[in-house]
Structure 1
Amino acid sequence: MGAGASPLLGLPAAVAAEGIDSGVVAHYGNPLGEQRLLASGTALAQVARGVVTVSGPDRLSWLDSLTSQSIARLAPGESAESLLLDPQGRVEHDIRIVDDGVTAWLILERPQTAALAAFLSRMRFMLRVEIADVSDQHAVIGSLDADLARRILGDDVIVSWQDPWRTGSIGGVSYARAAAEHPGADWTWSETVVPVGALDRLAAAVIGAEVRVAGSLAVDALRIAAWRPRLGVDTDERTIPHELDWLRSAVHLSKGCYRGQETVAKVHNLGRPPRRIVMLDLDGSEGIVVPAGAPVLALRQGEQVEAGAITSSAIHYELGPIALAVIRRAVDPDEILTVVADGASIAARQEIIVPADAGPAVTDIPRLPRLGRPA
C-alpha cells in the first residue's frame, strides 16, 4: 500500500483496521455481509501487503536457492508461495511470488517488506539481480474471484497471484486429514498488484455501484475457516512450517539446498513437529470476542494446564465463532479444550489440521549396533 491513506477509507461507513492490517479498511459496517460477498466472488478487498520486485536474468534461480519452494523454472504468470527460513528452519518470511517474464513480483505482509528487501540486497553477491521495495507505488487487492479485479480495473492490473493453498503445491505434502473435502478447497484466493492510483478508480467504481468491497475482518474470517496460516498472526519466533501445515503450499521437499532445509527434512522424515495448529469451534453463548494470545487450556491429571494460545479468531457468517490456535503436539485430539478470555472460560472443540502423529515419513530406519557389540 502507498504511503498516503487509502481512498477506500473515505467510503461511507469505512472503519480503519489496526495492527498488522493497519492502513486498510477493517469493515464497511457489516462484516458478516461482507464475508458473504467475498465468498460469492462478488467483492474486492484491499489487503495490507507490501511489494518487492526482483529483476535480472538470475532472479528465479537465485530466489530458488534462498527459499523453500522450487521456483527456478516458474513460468510467466505462474504463481508460487515460498518461505524464507532462518538457519534453524524457523519461518522468517512468507513470500507470494508471480513472475511476468522480466520481473519477479514478491507480495508480502506489509510490516515485513523492508526487512526482506534488505536481506535480499545483502545476498546479491555477483549475481545479475536488482531488488526494489516498491510498496509505496503499489497496492494489493484480494478476491475469491481471480478475474474480478481485472474486470473492474482493466489495464491497471500488473500481475495477479493465485494462492496455491487450495490444491497444494507440487513437491509439497499436507498433514491435514479432513474427514470430508479440505476446507481450503473453496479458498480460490487471489491477490492483484495495481498502482496506488488504481485505488481512486476502485473507490469510484464502488460509489457507482459497479462492484462491492469488503474489509480485512471478512478476509480473515474466511481465511481461518480455510485453515490458511498467516505470517505475523499465526506464527511466532519459534514457528517451523510443519506446525502450520505449510508444507502443503510453500515447501518443496525434494528441491536443492536452501537455508533451513536440514530442519525441514529432519522433522518431516524422522521427527514430529513440537506444536500443531488446530481450528477451534468456540462456544458463542457468552458473546465474548476471543483475542489473539488468549490461553488454551487442556486437562492433565484432573487439572487444567496451559496447552497453547489462540493465534487468530473471527465470527464466521456460517460457522459462528471460530479460531486458529497453536497447541502442544501431545494434547489429546479428542479433548474439549477451554479458552480463557475476558475472565470467562469458553469451551472449544478441536478440528484437527496437523495431527498429533504427523510425521515421520521415514519409518524403516535401520538400528545401528552399539560399539563393542556384534550386529
Structure 2
Amino acid sequence: MGSPFLSLPGAVLAEGVDAGVAGHYGNPIVEQRRLEQGRAIVDLSARGIVTVTGPDRLSWLHSMASQALARLAPGESAEALLLDANGHIEHAAHVVDDGATTWLVVEGDEAASLAAFLDRMRFMLRVEVADASADWAVVAAMGVEPLDAAVPAASPNGVALDWVDPWRGASGHQYSRDAQHPSSEWTWTERIVPRAALAEAAAAVTAGRVEAAGALAAEALRIAAWRPRFATEVDEKAIPHELDWLRSAVDLGKGCYKGQETVAKVLNLGRPPRRLVLLHLDGSDTVLPAPGEPVVGEKVRPEPEAGAEPERKVVGRITSSAMHHELGPIALAVIKRAVPADLQLIVESHGIDVAAAQVEIVPADAGAAVDVPRLPRLGVRH
C-alpha cells in the first residue's frame, strides 16, 4: 500500500534510494526553501524501523556499535555504526530509546538484514529484536514545529519518539577544518509515528496546517550540510573516517567493538585512504551527475607534446547530487586521499564533461597534520 502523501496534489514518485515516497510535489526548489524555513515536512515512510526490547538492550547494543549507548537516556538521540572486522561500515542507525524500547531508524532495505543480524547475536541475553517497519513510519522536518503541526509525537512508553540529528553541534572528532561548518544550519528531526498516522499527516498538508516537501528537497539540504547517508555515501570499502562520520557516529572513548582496531589505527597511525568532498558543479549544460559516475582529474605532463590531450585519471565517484536553491548544482563525492585540494576536477556524466570545484570535507592530510587523540590498540594494556 502506497503512502498517503503520494495522493497529495502534484506528487511525483521518487526514484533510486528514496523510491516509495514522493520525490517532489511540483517544485523541488520552492520545497527546499519551505523545508529550510521550518514550514514543511518530508515523508520518509520508505525508511525501516527495527526495535530492540528487554533489560539488556542498551548494554548489548553498546557492545557491538561504534557509539556509546549503554547510558543512553530516554528520549536522547544518538547515531551508531556497525562495522566489520576491518572497520568497513555494514549498518548505520538513528537511535532513540524510550525507557523500554530502543528504536533504530535505518534505510528501508536495511531493516530486515539488520534485524536478522541482531537476532543472531542475542545469545543468552534478555533482548528481543523485531522489524517494525510494517507498523511504524517516519516523517521529518527541520525542527519539531512543522511536525507538531502535522501529527503528534508517538510516545508508547511515555517518551516522544523524536530523533534529533546529532550532526549539528556533533561532539565527536571532526576532520573538517571549516570554522563555519554547514551543519550549524542542520536541525533535522525524524519523528517515528504509527504507520496509520501518515494519513493524518497528509491531511494536515491538505488542510494547510503545514506544507509538504519531497525527498529531492531533503537531499539537497543534506548534501549542502555535508551530511553522509548510508544509502548513498557508503560502499563496501567505506570506513567512518573517509566520510567525516567520526563527528556524530563514533565515540572514541568507548571500549572494544568489532572494527574498533581500524578506527584506532587510522586515527593514530595513518590517513583515510579516501575522502569526502563537496563539489560545486558547472551548471551551464544543465547536467546533474548521477550517483556512481566517475570523477576524473587531468594529469599535467612536465613537457606536453604539441596538440596532445591531457591524460585523465579516475580519482573517485559521485555519491549524491542535487540542485540547491542557493548553491546551484552540487554533489558529494568520495575521491582518493592524494588528490590535491586545488585540483580542478571533471565529472563525466551523460557523455558530457562537467567541471567541478572541490570543497574539502576530509582534508588530504587528515590524520597527519590534524591534531587527533591517541587511541589504544586492541589488546594493549597500560
Checking the alignment, whether the CA contact within 8 Å between 2:38 and 2:145 is kept in structure 1 is: no
Checking the alignment, whether the CA contact within 8 Å between 1:53 and 1:104 is kept in structure 2 is: yes
Checking the alignment, whether the CA contact within 8 Å between 2:42 and 2:212 is kept in structure 1 is: yes
Q: Following superposition of structure 1 onto structure 2, how do residues 119-134 of structure 1 map, counting pairs within 5 Å?
A: 119-134=117-132
RMSD over aligned CA atoms reads 1.5
CA distance in 2, matches of 1:209, 1:83: 38
Amino acid at match of 1:12: P
CA distance in 1, matches of 2:266, 2:299: 26
CA distance in 2, matches of 1:341, 1:151: 41
Deviation string 1:35-86 (CA, Å, 9 cap, x unpaired) is 0011001100011311011011111110000010011000000000000001
In the alignment, what sits opposite 1:221? Answer: 220
In the alignment, what sits opposite 1:108? Answer: 106
CA distance in 2, matches of 1:248, 1:341: 31
Q: Which moved more, 1:355-364 or 1:62-71?
A: 355-364
CA distance in 1, matches of 2:235, 2:346: 22
Match of 1:339 among 334, 347, 369: 347
In the alignment, is residue 9 of structure 1 matched against residue 6 of structure 2?
A: yes
Deviation string 1:147-198 (CA, Å, 9 cap, x unpaired) is 32134312546500010001113xx2010011x4101110110100001111
Q: 1:145 to 1:53 in 2, by over 3 A?
A: same
Match of 1:25 among 22, 25, 39: 22
Checking the alignment, whether the CA contact within 8 Å between 1:20 and 1:111 is kept in structure 2 is: no
2:226 aligns to what SS in structure 1? coil
In the alignment, is residue 84 of structure 1 matched against residue 121 of structure 2?
A: no
1:88 aligns to what SS in structure 2? coil
Deviation string 1:76-126 (CA, Å, 9 cap, x unpaired) is 000000000011100011110000011101100111000000000000011
Q: Following superposition of structure 1 onto structure 2, how do residues 192-211 of structure 1 map, counting pairs within 5 Å?
A: 192-211=191-210
1:164 aligns to what SS in structure 2? coil
Amino acid at match of 2:363: P
Instruction: Normalising by structure 2, report the TM-score.
Output: 0.91
Deviation string 1:288-339 (CA, Å, 9 cap, x unpaired) is 1211111111122442211001111000000000000000000010111111
In the alignment, what sits opposite 1:167? Answer: 169
Give the Å deviation of 1:130: 0.8
2:208 aligns to what SS in structure 1? coil
In the alignment, what sits opposite 2:92? Answer: 94
Amino acid at match of 1:173: H
Q: 1:269 to 1:43 in 2, by over 3 A?
A: same
Q: Following superposition of structure 1 onto structure 2, how do residues 135-284 of structure 1 map, counting pairs within 5 Å?
A: 135-154=133-152, 156=154, 159-169=161-171, 172-178=172-178, 180-284=179-283
CA distance in 2, matches of 1:147, 1:197: 21
In the alignment, what sits opposite 2:356? Answer: 348
Amino acid at match of 2:362: V
In the alignment, what sits opposite 2:330? Answer: 322
2:35 aligns to what SS in structure 1? helix
Match of 1:306 among 303, 307, 314: 314
1:165 aligns to what SS in structure 2? coil
1:233 aligns to what SS in structure 2? helix
CA distance in 2, matches of 1:238, 1:168: 24
CA distance in 2, matches of 1:124, 1:318: 48
In the alignment, what sits opposite 1:369? Answer: none
Checking the alignment, whether the CA contact within 8 Å between 1:156 and 1:198 is kept in structure 2 is: no
Checking the alignment, whether the CA contact within 8 Å between 2:149 and 2:204 is kept in structure 1 is: no
Count of aligned residue pairs for this structure pair: 359
Give the Å deviation of 1:232: 2.0
2:217 aligns to what SS in structure 1? helix
What are the ranges of 5 or more consecutive residues in structure 1 without an aligned counterpart?
Answer: 365-375
CA distance in 1, matches of 2:33, 2:206: 20
Deviation string 1:243-273 (CA, Å, 9 cap, x unpaired) is 0000000001110111110001100111101
In the alignment, what sits opposite 2:285? Answer: 286
In the alignment, what sits opposite 2:296? Answer: 297
Instruction: Normalising by structure 1, report the TM-score.
Output: 0.93
Amino acid at match of 1:209: G
In the alignment, what sits opposite 2:377? Answer: none
Checking the alignment, whether the CA contact within 8 Å between 2:13 and 2:20 is kept in structure 1 is: yes
In the alignment, is residue 37 of structure 1 matched against residue 34 of structure 2?
A: yes
What are the ranges of 5 or more consecutive residues in structure 2 without an aligned counterpart?
Answer: 302-310, 375-382
CA distance in 1, matches of 2:373, 2:15: 46
CA distance in 1, matches of 2:278, 2:4: 34
CA distance in 2, matches of 1:71, 1:104: 10
Checking the alignment, whether the CA contact within 8 Å between 1:146 and 1:162 is kept in structure 2 is: no
Q: Which moved more, 1:157-166 or 1:228-237?
A: 157-166
Checking the alignment, whether the CA contact within 8 Å between 2:346 and 2:353 is kept in structure 1 is: yes
Give the Å deviation of 1:240: 0.4
Q: 1:26 to 1:250 in 2, by over 3 A?
A: same
